[in-house]
């Protein structure tokens, strides 16, 4: 017990030292959460500091990511490759100890957290993956998932979506530790909620526990032990004092600013800790190594033996490897003349891929029957059927996205999720975290334009495509033909470190004759779909169903002796990354008669069209009406495109 | 009772007829919700169909907006200006009966709903406004707010944020009716949640009620009566059968597709209703008019008498009027040389305006101490102090935004909300509804770039500004100087039908000498901040703190005999709407040496910079480090800008 007390002090002070040295960070959570993290790490968490990516490790998500210093302190003391120098570089440029935990940057960090609430969602996703894989591979995949959440996490709506999903799917190996300190950034939480959180989590189907004294590590230990054994997901409320031991303990003043010298000295006196900054006695490090590292290493070694002996080893290695290679010859492609809903073509492509990629799973936010993303005969994921490949995410768009991120972070599975394009808005913050964490998850957004029709402006995406294109490290694809859809799906499944967003139509998309293969999408992002049949007057560019529209307009113009080129540009960002020679072959720099046609915000096209061309887009909200009437009303007809081309040519002629 | 039964049948069938005639819509909810809507409308709801905007009417939000046909049926029968012809035009282009209810389009529709969950949030906002205004004006503002929600609404995370806020603030005049039919689009809700919703809402501090039979209008009536009288916000679970009376009742098959002829005939037999489509016996209309209209009209007339006699009348009329005119001379402006955090300047501007605009209220999503949006001496809004002008929204970004929309929809108040720019992601779906509903709410997003520094990539906005610029009907402003901040705030407060998003820095923003007044922002969106002092070589454009950077670069270039113009472009969209002469005076069309400088996604600049210029932006995620180190790392220094200008000039020289 004395050893534990001493160790907890070290855990706290090392984090406080890092914050003081950086002169930036959050001491409050360090001092309230240290005892629970210590108890978890030394008595329960099964991790191997020498092999932080061991696939059957327990997952630990600090959803309250502003507690990063504490997490780094734990990682250092427990023997992960996080040195004292790394702690001294806390929050400094280029360090492996950034201001909030970042997956891929720091060994032992299982998720990027900081945007509140999403850590809980990702932990739920990890528990989904674990549940499925344990059903598949037995005790080789029997680990727990722990999430540490704060008041801020639980105020976020995502906590509801994630917890509701965990409840119905009975993710029994999920344990949530709630740092209940009744203070958030602006003051006591009594200003912003009076929610009985245990009652709330019970309403979802969690088993709930209360630890009244956050310093009582035996009580925390007992609660975690019960939580792990409970047949349901577990929620442990641990009542703590924010910034405990510092002068402003129990108030928001200790939340987000480093302690000044005087406050630091008070804390050191209260903890009876009088060592130089970053000084940790060797016996403390040894104690941590024994309690966390040695236990974890032994567990890992035992696991490796079983793994080596397992007949599942090859399959597990394959599934946890990142390289999916698709046999293209086994994917159905579509003949010229094919006309079908983009979502239906997507369904065919998905199912062809699912046959080749057995660990491909996914679902919809209660719109599977509309987005057509069911894996036929894949079964439905549920508490009773964790092997079901179709996940009924519920009307939880944001939850779905965080769960997808969690599944991808866990490893072993390839995941997709779908909803209507307009509802991607609900998921924006999580799509950003997919991209930031380099997770190759797949978003299928159908009903991708005003062609949605009757449901009206609330259901018609306008700005969503452009908005998503602004996110770094994200593939955004709006395929222009059935075969482009197949290519886009293949590209998405093979992606290693970039998430993919795919926009698909509800209405028919048509396979028209092309001068180039649609598979160029994968390599080039954009290509010439139809060359000019005479002296080039203008270049038309389009995505989605508007590609067919421009091809028809090209023909009509041809009949009038105006020769145009049609460029299919399903993945703008990829096209822009091509070498200048290729880009020049598609869009000659001196050809400024450029017309883009897309039923959405013009914002995303100016970088290709320039100041002298014309963007036929939509910069107002949509309208409720029959699909074809709405499309006509917004001037997306062959006649309109032809007229715009001629207008532009006339204008440019005049300019000279 | 017989009369009620007959009326309910009419309410149902008129909606079903509209759906059948449109061959599009959602019959399921019509048949499950009709009895509760009828009970509410005929026995409780106080509205005046002849004066649908009466400011003390009860507010009714159909959060489950796909039930629009039912709402329109109710509006028609109750005597609102929604004709049978309007119902026949359901979901047709240009009608006042769009696919989902749209505020401003249909008399009697209090909110645009359809994107699930947000209706509940807006109802909470309306109840906030009501609570404040009742405290201020007594029984002149004593109405109730009713929300009808479905399973889909309650699965959304926003339901948590909105309800949690309603609970702590004890919005006792809010009554939520829950259509508990256990079915959502993809199937039984048992696939996606097992939440005990009454237990959940009790955890927030709601009084909860259960009606086991959704056809039992006396039980519904009794529950609403109790709910209205209860001292807390109220949640009534009403158990219903989706599509009751139709062949597929109780299943998702009856949710979202019109009934075919056979199904329609079964329903008609079950209801014993055999009239021609859209035929409603006169006595039924008369009965509705009496039960809803006459009651409401009488209440309105009585209210008008009290209103006329009230000493508050002038103030109420002023506050409910939409024209706020600010006396500019009373706003503090800043001298050249002023350097302060953008958020701090914003604080000054807000407080100056608050003195002139007494009904200006708002708050932050638990970041008021960082965003600096407190109204000094304004008090804190709470259950005990509804007059408090500072609303502690909690860590509920999305909730805040829907509540802002609800406050604006209610009328009588001008509202703002703030958080960090990067967390605007959480609110995207609601910002869209601000714009779609033309609500002049004000979003203050601080910490507006990588200059956030230590908190790292999760807290540094990159793509947020460009993404928001893609939303139609939204003012997006990133002021470039202290005085531009004042102008932007003034513009935001005076806006009548457009919401405003303002990006403010944490770091210092500097007032530098300018050739034009910063107030040009309001009129023109962009202007020449500093003209070239010799032959024009290039035009530099910037927003935010980067304006000062470009002005310094201009000077440095001048010293090298390279003369440039600096354009401040805080509101791109407004600039692009200016007449061609003005735009030409700022950015001559033939001057293509254009360089934009902004610490964010380049996506939003191409429409101004074109193919030949240079955008100095950031198209990757940020980094954790000291603010100045991060800024330097991303090449936003005077030297970098100077070098880029010279590079461009050299390149263009070569091209010729």
Decide: residue A639, CB within 10 A, 0-12 exposed, 13-18 middle, 19+ buried. exposed
- Tell me which chain A residue has its CA closest to the CA of residue B469: A603
B628 CA to centre of own chain: 35
Nearest chain B alpha carbon to A206: B195
CA distances A192 to A151, A168, A195, B295, B430, Å, are: 10, 28, 9, 38, 20
Which stretch of DSSP H or E encloses residue B222?
helix B217-229
Answer yes or no: is pLDDT of B453 > 70.
yes
User: A33-86: per-residue pLDDT in tens?
Assistant: 999 999 999 999 999 999 999 999 999 999 999 999 999 999 999 999 999 999
Q: Which of B214, B262, B259 is nearest to B18 (CA)?
A: B259
B542 pLDDT band (50/70/90 cuts)?
Answer: very high
Distance from CA of B574 to the nearest CA of A (A): 13
Residues A328-510, CATH architecture:
3-Layer(aba) Sandwich (3.40)
* pLDDT the model gives residue B423: 98
Q: How far apart are CA A233 and CA A174, in angstroms?
A: 5
| Closest among B64, B23, B637, B469 to B277, alpha carbons compared | B23
Q: Give residues with Cβ within 8 angstroms of A342, minimum separation 6.
A: A446, A448, A479, A482, A485, A504, A505, A506, A507, A509, A544, A545
Residue A653 is predicted with a pLDDT of 80
Predicted pLDDT at A408: 98
Class of CATH domain A522-655: alpha beta
Would you place residue A323 in the very low, low, confident or very high pLDDT band (cuts 50, 70, 90)? Answer: confident
Q: Over the stretch A157-196, which tens digit does the pLDDT of each residue have?
A: 999 999 999 999 999 999 999 999 999 998 999 999 999 9
User: A615, A585, A582, A360: which is closest to A465 by C-alpha?
Assistant: A615
Query: Are A109 and A67 in contact, with CB atoms under 8 Å apart?
Result: no
pLDDT average, residue stretch B343-353: 98
> How much of chain B, in percent, has pLDDT values that exceed 70?
99
Mean pLDDT of A533-552: 98
What whole-number distance in Å separates Cα of residue B267 and Cα of residue B244?
Answer: 8
Task: Tell me how far apart the alpha carbons of residues A121 and A127 are, in angstroms, rounded to a whole number.
Answer: 10
Between CA A67 and CA A101 the distance in angstroms is 9
Q: Where are the beta strands (DSSP E) in B163-206?
A: 174-180, 183-184, 187-188
Chain A residue with minimal CA distance to B390?
A191
Parallel, antiparallel, or unpaired for β A614-616 and B442-446? unpaired
Domains A2-303 and A522-655 share a fold: yes
The answer to whether residue A656 scores a pLDDT higher than 70 is no
* 3-class SS string, A376-389: CCCCECCCCCCCCC
Helix or strand run (H / E) with residue A446? strand A442-446
B439 contacts on A by Cβ (under 8 Å): none
Inter-chain touch B157–A184, beta carbons under 8 Å: no
Interchain proximity B200–A197, CB inside 8 Å: no
| Chain B interface disruption, residue of A119, A150, A178, A603, most B CBs within 10 A | A603
Alpha-carbon distance B121 to B115, whole Å?
A: 11
Residues in chain B: 656
What residues of B are in contact with residue A619 (Cβ under 8 Å)? 472
Smallest CA–CA distance from A196 into chain B, residue: B203
% of chain A residues with pLDDT over 90:
98
- Inter-chain residue contact A197 with B203, CB threshold 8 Å: yes
pLDDT tier at B601, thresholds 50, 70, 90: very high
Contact, B532 vs B622, CB < 8 A?
Answer: no
Mean pLDDT of chain A: 97
Q: Do B192 and A392 touch (CB under 8 A)?
A: yes
Pick from A115, A433, A633: which is nearest to B423 by CB?
A115
Cβ–Cβ gap A621/B472 under 8 Å: yes
pLDDT surpassing 70 at residue B191:
yes
Which residues of B are known catalytic residues?
A: 397
Range in A122-136, A208-222, B312-326 with the lowest mean pLDDT: B312-326
Q: What is the mean pLDDT of residues A360-368?
A: 97
Sign, CA torsion A590/A592/A598/A603: positive
Name every chain A residue with its beta carbon within 8 A of the beta carbon of B193: 164-165, 167-168, 204, 394
Segment A462-478, tens digit of pLDDT: 999 999 999 999 999 99
Q: Is A157 close to B396, i.e. CB distance below 8 A? A: yes
Nearest-neighbour CA in chain B from A25: distance (Å)? 8
Chain B residues closer than 8 Å to A102 by CB: 456-458, 624
Q: Do A396 and B157 touch (CB under 8 A)?
A: yes
Catalytic residue among A102, A197, A237, A397: A397
Q: Give the model's confidence band at B323: pLDDT under 50 very low, under 70 low, under 90 confident, else very high.
A: confident
| Residues from chain A contacting residue B159 (CB–CB below 8 Å) | 157, 160
Give the model's pLDDT for residue B87. 98
Q: Do A455 and B194 touch (CB under 8 A)?
A: no
pLDDT band (50, 70, 90) for residue A116? very high
Beta strands A183-184 and A174-180 are unpaired
List the A145-150 sheet strands across, edge first.
Answer: A59-62, A145-150, A174-180, A234-239, A207-211
Mean pLDDT value across residues A226-236:
98
d(CA B319, CA A266): 52
Tell me: the pLDDT tens digits for A395-405? 999 999 999 99
Taking contacts as CB-CB distances below 8 angstroms, the residues of chain B near A453 are 24
Q: pLDDT value at position A53? A: 98
Per-residue pLDDT tens digits for A487-536: 999 999 999 999 999 999 999 999 999 999 999 999 999 999 999 999 99
What local confidence, expressed as pLDDT, does residue B57 receive?
98
**Taking 90 as the threshold, does the pLDDT of residue A541 lie above it?**
yes
The residues, ordered by sequence, that sit 6+ positions from A246 with a Cβ below 8 Å of its Cβ are A27, A28, A31, A254, A259, A263, A266, A267, A270
As a whole number, the mean pLDDT across chain B is 97
Residue B322 confidence (pLDDT): 78
Q: What is the predicted pLDDT for the residue at B282?
A: 97
CA angle, A181 as apex, A175 and A185 as ends, to 5°? 110
pLDDT single digits (tens) B510-527:
999 999 999 999 999 999
CA distance A589 to chain B (A): 9
The mean pLDDT value for A231-256 works out to 96
**Of the partner residues A113, A159, A619, the one whose CB lies closest to the CB of residue B160:** A159
Q: Specify whether the CB–CB gap between B168 and A194 falls below 8 A.
A: yes
What is the Cα–Cα distance from A113 to A115, expressed in whole angstroms? 6
Residues of A in contact with B115 (CB under 8 A): 422-423, 425-426, 458
Most A CBs within 10 Å, among B153, B455, B583, to test the A interface: B455
The pLDDT of residue A654 is above 80 = no
Give all strands (DSSP E) within B414-482, no chain letters. 414-420, 442-446, 475-477
Highest mean pLDDT of the ranges A188-192, A304-308, B184-188? A304-308
Give the pLDDT score at B153.
98
Q: Name residue B177's beta-bridge partners.
A: B148, B236
Cα atoms in the Cβ-side hemisphere of radius 13 Å centred on A21: 21
ipTM above 0.90, yes or no: yes
Contact B115 A458 (CB under 8 A): yes
Average pLDDT over every residue of A135-164: 98
Task: Name the percent of chain A lying above pLDDT 70.
Answer: 99
Closest CA of chain B from A4, distance in Å: 31
Residue B312's pLDDT is 97
Distance in Å, alpha carbon of B509 to nearest chain A alpha carbon: 22
Beta bridge partners of A565: A539
DSSP secondary structure letters along A65-79: GGGHHHHHHHHHHHT
> Residue A655: what pLDDT?
61
Is there a contact between A369 and B186 if contact means CB atoms under 8 Å apart? yes
Indicate the residue of B152, B197, B366 with minimum beta-carbon distance to A185: B366
High-pLDDT (> 90) share of chain B, %? 98
CATH number, span A2-303? 3.40.50.970
Cα end-to-end distance, chain A, whole Å: 87
What are the helix and strand counts (H, E) for chain B?
26, 20
Q: B520-655: what CATH class?
A: alpha beta
**Torsion angle of C-alpha atoms B403, B404, B406, B408, degrees rounded to 10:** 170
What is each CA distance from A642 to A39, A551, A636, in whole angstroms? 71, 11, 10
Nearest to A367 among B186, B199, B364 (CB): B186
pLDDT value at position B655? 61
**Which residues in A lie closer than 8 A to residue B463 (C-beta atoms)?**
432, 467, 470-472
Helix, strand, coil share (%) of chain A residues, nearest 5:
50, 15, 40
Whether the pLDDT of residue B653 is over 90: the answer is no
Q: Which residues of A386-396 are buried (b: 16+ CB within 10 A; e: fewer)?
A: bebbbbbbbbb
Which residues of chain A are within 8 Å of residue B199 when distances are taken between CB atoms? 199-200, 202-203
Nearest CA in chain A to B150: A395
CA distance A364 to A344: 15
Domain boundaries, chain A: 2-303, 328-510, 522-655
Q: A94 φ, ψ to 5°?
A: 85, 0
- pLDDT, position B447: 98
Q: What is the pLDDT of residues B459-512, one digit of tens each?
A: 999 999 999 999 999 999 999 999 999 999 999 999 999 999 999 999 999 999
B656 has a pLDDT exceeding 60: no
Q: DSSP 3-state helix, strand, coil percentages of chain B (rounded to 5)?
A: 50, 15, 40
DSSP tag of A221 = H
């Amino acid at each position: 017990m004395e050893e534990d007390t001493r160790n907890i002090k070290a855990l706290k002070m090392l984090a406080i030292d890092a914050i003081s040295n950086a002169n930036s960070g959050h001491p409050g959570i360090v001092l309230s959460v240290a005892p629970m993290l210590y108890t978890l790490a030394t008595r329960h968490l099964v991790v191997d500091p020498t092999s932080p990516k061991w696939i059957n490790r327990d997952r630990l998500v600090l959803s309250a990511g502003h507690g990063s210093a504490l997490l780094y302190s734990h990682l250092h003391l427990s023997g992960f490759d996080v040195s004292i120098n790394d702690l001294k570089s806390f929050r400094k440029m280029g360090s492996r100890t950034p201001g909030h935990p970042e997956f891929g940057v720091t060994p032992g960090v299982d998720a990027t957290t900081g945007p509140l609430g999403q850590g809980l969602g990702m932990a739920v996703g990890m528990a989904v993956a674990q549940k499925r894989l344990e059903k598949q591979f037995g005790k080789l995949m029997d680990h727990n998932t722990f999430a540490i959440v704060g008041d801020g996490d639980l105020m976020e709506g995502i906590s509801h979506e994630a917890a509701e999903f965990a409840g119905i799917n009975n993710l029994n190996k999920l344990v949530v530790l709630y740092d209940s300190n009744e203070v958030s950034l602006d003051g006591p939480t009594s200003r912003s909620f009076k929610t009985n959180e245990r009652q709330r989590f019970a309403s979802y189907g969690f088993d709930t526990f209360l630890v009244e004294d956050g310093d009582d590590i035996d009580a925390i230990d007992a609660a975690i032990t019960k939580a792990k054994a409970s047949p349901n997901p577990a929620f442990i409320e641990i009542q703590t004092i924010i910034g405990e031991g510092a002068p402003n303990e129990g108030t928001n003043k200790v939340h987000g600013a480093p302690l000044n010298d005087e406050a630091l000295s008070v804390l050191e006196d209260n903890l009876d800790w009088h060592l130089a900054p970053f000084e940790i006695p060797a016996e403390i490090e040894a104690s941590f190594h024994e309690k966390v590292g040695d236990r974890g290493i032994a567990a890992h070694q035992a696991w490796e033996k079983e793994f080596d002996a397992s007949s599942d080893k090859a399959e597990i290695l394959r599934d946890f490897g990142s390289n999916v290679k698709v046999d293209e010859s086994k994917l159905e492609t579509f003949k010229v003349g094919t006309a079908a809903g983009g979502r239906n073509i997507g369904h065919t492509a998905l199912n062809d891929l699912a046959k080749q990629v057995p660990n491909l799973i996914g679902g919809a936010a209660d719109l599977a029957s509309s987005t057509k993303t069911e894996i036929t005969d894949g079964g439905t994921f549920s508490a009773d059927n964790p092997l079901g490949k179709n996940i009924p995410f519920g009307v939880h768009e944001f939850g779905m996205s965080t769960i997808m991120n969690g599944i991808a972070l866990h490893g072993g599975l390839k995941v997709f999720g779908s909803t209507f394009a307009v509802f991607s808005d609900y998921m924006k913050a999580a799509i950003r975290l997919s991209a930031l964490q380099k997770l190759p998850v797949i978003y299928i957004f159908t009903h991708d334009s005003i062609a949605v029709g009757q449901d009206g402006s609330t259901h018609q995406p306008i700005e969503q495509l452009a908005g998503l294109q602004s996110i770094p490290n994200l593939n955004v694809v709006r395929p222009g033909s059935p075969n482009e859809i197949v290519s886009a799906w293949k590209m998405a499944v093979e992606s290693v470190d970039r998430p993919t967003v795919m926009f698909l139509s509800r209405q028919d998309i048509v396979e028209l004759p092309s001068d180039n293969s649609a598979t160029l999408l994968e390599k080039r992002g954009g290509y010439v779909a139809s060359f000019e049949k005479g002296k080039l007057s203008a270049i038309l560019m389009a995505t989605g169903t508007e590609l067919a529209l421009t091809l028809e307009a090209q023909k009509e113009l041809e009949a009038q002796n105006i020769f145009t080129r049609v460029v299919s540009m399903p993945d703008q960002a990829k096209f822009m990354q091509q070498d200048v020679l290729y880009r020049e072959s598609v869009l000659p720099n001196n050809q400024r008669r450029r017309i883009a046609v897309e039923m959405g915000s013009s914002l995303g096209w100016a970088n290709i069209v320039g100041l002298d061309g014309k963007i036929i887009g939509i910069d107002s909200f949509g309208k409720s009406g029959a699909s074809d009437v709405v499309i006509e009303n917004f001037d997306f007809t062959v006649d309109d495109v032809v007229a715009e081309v001629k207008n532009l040519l006339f204008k440019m002629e005049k300019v000279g």
